[in-house]
Amino acid sequence: MSEFKIVGKPIPRDDAWAKVTGELKYADDFSLPGMLYAKVLRSKYPAAKIISINTAKAEKLNGVRAVLTAKDVPHNETVTRFGQSSEVGKGFEGLYRVLADKKVRFMGEAVALVAADTEEIAEKALDLIEVNYETLPGVFDPVEAMKPGAYLVGENNSNIIGQFGCSQGDIIKGFAEADIIIEDTYKVPFVDHAYLETEGGIAWIDDYGVINIRVGSQVIEHFRDVADVLGLSHNKVRYIGTMMGGGFGGKEDITVEAYLALLTWKTKKPVRLFYTREESILCHSKRHPFVMKYKVGAKKDGKLVALNAELISDAGAYPYLSPWVNLYATVNAAGPYCIPNVKVRTYCVLTNNTFTSANRGFGAPQPNVVYESLMDELAHKLNISPLEIRRRNCLTTGKSLSTTGQVFKTYVALPEVAEKAWEALGELAKCEDKNRKVGRGLAIGLMSYGRMTFLHDSSRCYVRLESDGSVLIRSGIPDLGGGQVSLLCQIVAEELGIPMSKIKIYYSDTALTPLAGTTTATRQTYMSGNATLKAARKIRKRIISKAAELLNVNPDKLDIIEEKVIVKYNQSQYLPLVEVIKACNTAGIELFCEVQFNAPFTIVPDLSNIRGMTFPDFTFGAQAVEVAVDTETGQVEILKLITCYDVGKAINPLSVEGQMEGGSIYGMGYALMEEVIIEKGITMTPSFSEYIIPTAADVPDVKAILVESGGGLGPYGAKGIGEPACSIIAPAILNAIYDAIGVRIKNLPATPEKIIRALKKEYFEK
Amino acid sequence: MKKIEIEFIVNGKKRRIFVKPNDLLINIIRNDLYLTGSKYGCGIGECGACTVLLDGEPVLSCLTLAVTVNGKEITTIEGLAKGDELHPVQKAFLENGAVQCGFCTPGMILTATALLKENPNATENEIRDYMRGNLCRCTGYVQIVKAIKSCVAEQKSD
C-alpha cells in the first residue's frame, strides 16, 4: 500500500465515545432479574488445617440460596492452563484448587461460597459458617522455604515448584579475565495491579442450557477450565468478556468465574460476584517478589566478560503462572548485553503468602532492576558515562541473547534508543536549594512480545463486508483498556478503505467470536493484528479483483480509498465500493472469511539449560530520568522522564504514547512507593491508603519518543509495547538517585525512609 | 429499616425515591437509577471513580448518604453531554487519548469540569493538585492533564 490513510494516525479510539459518556457497560454495570448476590468466605489464617466446616446455620438463614464448600465442587482440583493449544507438561501446569480443602495455604484463600437474595444476607451468611481451624507454622520467606526440612506449603515434598537455567561460555574463565567484579543482592517487593475495576462478573444459564459468564477477563479461553471444574463439556460454558477497567495481568488467572459457574449451576439463577477493593488486594495475585544474587565481571574498558545470577522468586501459596514468570526472568536475567560467559539459575518457591502470578512485565522488571543498577555501578567505578558503557556492551542486529542464544534477526534499536533517551534530557536542571540534589539515570532493556513459542500460539478473526459497505468484525480479543479492540477496527478500515464509523466489532465472546487468544504477553497487536490483517486482505483482494474486471484494468493499479475502488494515478476513474460489493454478491463471491494466524512454533526447551528461540521477537527501549532528591526528607521528585522505544510501527500513536506514558508511571510506582507488605502471611496494606499508587500530583510530564523502524513481526511492521513500556523505568530512577546523592537503593521501593537511612549509613561509614 | 422519601434533581430531571437512612448515594445512583457511569473503585473515598457533582461541587458518592441529597441537584457523567454534543471536557478527553480503560474517566471528567468552573485559567500544577484525588492506573495522567489543559481558557505557565 502506498500511503496510510488511517493506520499511523492519532485518532480517537473506537471505544472512547462510550467511555467519556459513561455509556459503556463494564462487568459490574449489568444486572438480571432475580439475580443472586455471591460472597466468598476466606481463610483467616495463612497456614492452617481445616478440621471441620459447618454450614448448617448459614443454610438456614432466610434468603440464602446456596452454600458451597470443597466437597460440593465436582472437580475441585485441576491444573492451571492459560489458553495454550499445546501440551506443555507438569512444569508449567500447576495445581488449580477452587476452594480450600483440608488445609489453607494463605490468608484470604477461598473456603466457602454463598449465594443469597441480597448482598447483606450473603454477608450475614458468611458470619454463620463455622470453620474449625488448627493453625500451622507456615513459611513466609522463599529462601527459608527452599531449605531442606522447611514447612511444606502444599502436599508435595518440596516447596520448589520451578527451576530454570541457562548458560553460555565458562563463567570461571570469564571472571578470571575480569579487571573488576561486582557482587550484590537486590530485593523487590510484592506489587498489586491496582486496576480501578476490581475482579467481578455475573453468570446465568441461558436458553440453551449453557452457563454464560459475563466477566472482565484477559483470558476468555478459561471457559474450558471452568467447564472442567464442573465436569461439563467445554461447549457448555460461555465467556462473554467485557471491556475491562484495567488488567495488567491480574485478570489473566481465573478470578470469580469458577465460583460464579458453581453457584449458578447449583441455584439455576443468575449470580453476581464482585470483589471489594480489600478483597482484591488481600486475595488475588500479586507481582513476584524476587531475591536476586548477581555477580558481574568487566574489563577496564567496561566490556562485560561474565555474569552469574541466582534468582529466587516467591510464588506465594499456589503456582498459577509462577513457573512461566520465572522463565521470563531467566531469559531476561542478563539484560540486553553481549556477555560471553553467563550462568543463570532461577528458583520459584511456594510460601504461605498471597499467591503471585502475572503482573505487567511478567518477570522482566525484577532482574532488570539488578543488571541495570550494576551496569551503572560499573560505569561509575570505571569512570565511563552511563550511555557509553551501554554502547560498548549492548546487543545489536544479528547478535544473540546472552542467556538463551536466541539470534536477533530484525533491527535491534538499542544503541539508537539509548542515545535518543539520554540526549532528550537536555540541560541539567539548576537547583538553588542546597538540600536538593539533582541527578540523572539511564536504563535500557528488551522485552518479548508474543507468547513463549512452545505454547504454539494462534489468533483467529472473522471479517464480513456487508452489502451497504459496512463491516462486521468478530474477534475473541479481550480489551483491558489498551485499545486492543479499536486497533483491529483501524486495520480493517485501512485495508478496505472505509471510515472507522462503518465498522462494528464483536469481541471477547467464546460462543460468538473466533478465539483470538489471550490479552497477555503484549501479544494482541502482533497476533490478532496479523489475523485481522490477513482476513481484511483476503476480502480486499476479492474486491480489487472484481473491480479490475469491471474497470478492465490490472488489479495492481487499483486501491480502495474513501469507499471507492480507484485507479491509482487517475483518481477520476473509480467505482463506488458498494457497486463492487453488489457485483461480488451477484457473482457469488464470498465477502467474508475467518482466518488463523500462527506464531512461530518451537518445542518445550530443556528447562535446566534453555537454548534457542523461546519468543517470537523483542521490543527494545531506553528510559532516562532526572530527579531531585531532598537529603533532609528523602523525598524523590522526578523532574524529567523520557521513554524511547522502537515500536516498529505505531498503528495508533495516541494509544502507543499512552502505553509508554502509563507504563513509565506504573514502573515509577514500583521504584518509589508501591509495596504490598505481607508480614508472616498477613497483608498490612489492604487499601489505597496503605498501598500507595502515583497520583497526578506525584508524577512528571512524560516525554515519549517513538522510533518506528518497521522491523516488527506485527501488522505494518509493528511491535508490542504494553509490557516493555514499564519494564526498565525503575532502575533508571534508582540510577538517578545514586547520581544525585551517591547512595544506591537495593531494596525496592526507594521510599524516603530508605533513602534517609541509606544517607545516614553512608555518612557514618565515611 | 424504615425508608425515607427524598426528592432531588438528577441530570436535570426531578426524581422522588425511597431510601434507607444508611443507603449510600453510589448504590442509589447505580442500582436504583441505573446510572452505571459512576464507578465503584474502592468504596472508601480513596480513588475518585464514583465522583458526581452535587450542586456543582465534586463529591464522592461512595461516602455520601443518599438522604443528604434531598432537595439538591446531582450531575452524573450521563448528564454532561447535550444529546450527541459532548461537553468540552468529554471532547478533550476523547481527542487527546486521555481514555484508556475508561474506568476512572467519568470521575476524572466530572472533577475536571468542577476545576475548570472554579478556576478557568488553571495552571498545570493547579490541575495536577486538584486532580490528585482521582486515581488512574493506565495513563500516567499525561494525556489527562493535556486534555484538561486544552480546555483552559487562557494558557499560561506555572
Task: Express each pLDDT in B47-84 by its tens digit.
Answer: 999 999 999 999 999 999 999 999 999 999 999 999 99
Q: B154: pLDDT confidence band, cut at 50, 70 and 90?
A: low
Q: How far is A10 from chain B (nearest CA, A)?
A: 8
The predicted model scores a pTM of 0.97
Q: How far is A361 from chain B (nearest CA, A)?
A: 14
Asked whether the beta carbons of residue B139 and residue A661 sit closer than 8 angstroms, the reply is: yes
| Assigned C-alpha cell, A419 | 542515545
pLDDT value at position A725?
A: 98
Domain ranges of chain A: 36-136+199-274, 290-452+604-765, 458-598
The string of pLDDT tens digits covering residues A669-682 is 999 999 999 999 99
- Which residue among B44, B78, B139 places its CB closest to the CB of A658? B139
pLDDT band at B157; cut points 50, 70, 90: low
| Residue A106, pLDDT score | 98
Q: Which three cell numbers stand for residue A109?
A: 484463600
Which residues in chain A are contacts of B50 at CB distance < 8 A?
none
The CA–CA distances, whole Å, from A221 to A85, A254, A488, A519 equal 10, 10, 20, 11
B4-79 and B88-151 agree in CATH topology: no
- CB spacing of A696 vs B134 below 8 angstroms: yes
Q: Which CATH number, 3.90.1170.50, 3.40.50.920, 1.10.1200.10, 3.30.465.10, labels domain A36-136+199-274?
A: 3.90.1170.50
Average pLDDT on A649-654 reads: 98
Q: Where are the domains of chain B?
A: 4-79, 88-151
Residues listed for chain A: 766
- Express each pLDDT in A505-558 by its tens digit: 999 999 999 999 999 999 999 999 999 999 999 999 999 999 999 999 999 999
Cell of A602: 518451537
- Is the ipTM above a cut-off of 0.95? yes
Q: Residue B1: pLDDT band by 50, 70, 90 thresholds? A: confident
Whether the Cβ atoms of residue B131 and residue A696 lie closer than 8 Å to each other: yes
Measured between beta carbons, which residues in chain A are less than 8 angstroms from residue B96? 654
Burial A487-497 (b: 16+ CB within 10 A, else e): bbbbbbbbbbb
Per-residue CA distances from A188 to A465, A670, A747 (Å) = 51, 9, 6
Grid-cell match 457473482, residue found: A587
For A196, which of B39, B99, B144 is closest by C-beta distance? Answer: B39
Taking the Cβ of residue A695 and every Cβ of chain B, the question of whether any pair is shorter than 8 Å is answered with yes
- Beta bridge pairs of residue A509: A240
Q: Best mutation site among B95, B111, B141 for testing chain A: the one with the most A CBs within 10 Å?
A: B141
Nearest-10 Cα torsion for A527, A529, A535, A537: -130
Residue A630 DSSP SS3: strand
pLDDT at A431 (0 to 100): 84
Same fold, A36-136+199-274 and A290-452+604-765: no
**At residue A760, does pLDDT exceed 70?**
yes
pLDDT at A144: 98
Mean pLDDT of B126-153: 97
Q: Which residue has the cell 425511597?
A: B18
Pairing state between β A471-475 and A503-507: parallel
In this prediction, residues A698-716 reach a mean pLDDT of 98
- Residue B92: closest CA among chain A residues belongs to which residue? A20
Contact flag B141-A665 (C-beta cutoff 8 Å): yes
- What's the rounded mean pLDDT across residues A201-228? 98
Q: Which CATH class is domain B4-79?
A: alpha beta
**Distance, in angstroms, between A566 CA and closest chain B CA?**
31
In CATH terms, the superfamily for domain B88-151 is [2Fe-2S]-binding domain (1.10.150.120)
Closest residue in A to B39 (Cα–Cα): A197
Contact A21/B86, CB-based, under 8 Å?
Answer: yes
3-class state of residue A384 by DSSP: coil
pLDDT at position A766: 74
Verify whether the Cβ–Cβ distance B103 to A193 is below 8 Å: no
CA distance A722 to chain B (A): 10
- Work out the number of other CB atoms within 10 angstroms of the CB of residue A130: 12
Q: Is the pLDDT of residue A1 over 50?
A: no
- For chain B, say whether A10 makes contact (Cβ under 8 Å): yes
Q: How many CB atoms lie within 10 A of CB A236?
A: 18
Interface test mutation site (partner B, options A11, A13, A17, A20, max chain B beta carbons within 10 A): A20
CATH hierarchy code of domain A290-452+604-765: 3.30.365.10
Query: Contact, A82 vs A133, CB < 8 A?
Result: no
Instruction: Render pLDDT for A113-151 as a digit per residue (tens, 0 to 9).
Output: 999 999 999 999 999 999 999 999 999 999 999 999 999
Of the CATH numbers 3.40.920.10, 3.30.365.10, 3.40.50.1440, 3.40.50.1580, which one belongs to the domain with range A458-598?
3.30.365.10
**Residues of chain B found within 8 Å of residue A699, distances taken between Cβ atoms:** 140-141
In whole angstroms, what is the distance from residue A284 CA to residue A567 CA?
A: 57
CB A543 within 8 A of CB A564: no
**CA nearest neighbour of A724 among A448, A335, A400, A412:** A448
